[in-house]
Amino acid sequence: GEDVEQSLFLSVREGDSSVINCTYTDSSSTYLYWYKQEPGAGLQLLTYIFSNMDMKQDQRLTVLLNKKDKHLSLRIADTQTGDSAIYFCADFNQAGTALIFGKGTTLSVSS
């Protein structure tokens, strides 16, 4: 079945850039997504990228997509303590009916 993998932890200092990586298996995806989950809260759609794009920039966020390698990354510039959260990479299942999530990357930002 479909699978989405991502590293579990990332620790950075305030002001540095953070890069969270993700790999996926389903090559038929039209969109790929990044979600953010703050402690005790639901998921917030951060950004998404259409599969025919290589890069998408949205303020401090940059998404890079390498379709050949099935690799997706999220770069957060000038990381702030408020960016500390769990970040999930997600992809729709083959039926297109539900999102398949990675295990989430816990981003810890120290001041």
Partner 1 sequence: GAVVSQHPSRVICKSGTSVKIECRSLDFQATTMFWYRQFPKQSLMLMATSNEGSKATYEQGVEKDKFLINHASLTLSTLTVTSAHPEDSSFYICSARGGGSGAFFGQGTRLTVV
Contact positions vs partner 1 (CB under 8 A): 30-31, 33, 35, 40-45, 48, 88, 97-104
- Measured from the CB of residue 50, what is the shortest distance to partner 1 in angstroms? 9
The string of DSSP letters for 25-47 reads --TT-SEEEEEEE-TT--EEEEE
- Measured from the CB of residue 38, what is the shortest distance to partner 1 in angstroms? 10
Nearer residue to partner 1 within complex by CB, 8 or 13: 8
- Measured from the CB of residue 43, what is the shortest distance to partner 1 in angstroms? 4
- Measured from the CB of residue 27, what is the shortest distance to partner 1 in angstroms? 18
Q: How far apart are CA 64 and CA 14, in angstroms?
A: 22
Nearer residue to partner 1 within complex by CB, 49 or 109: 49
Nearer residue to partner 1 within complex by CB, 38 or 78: 38
Q: How far apart are CA 51 and CA 91, in angstroms?
A: 11
Q: Go through 22-42 and write b for each residue having 16 or more CB atoms within 10 A of its CB, e for each that does not.
A: bbbebeebeebbbbbeeeeee
Residue 10 token pair? 């990332």
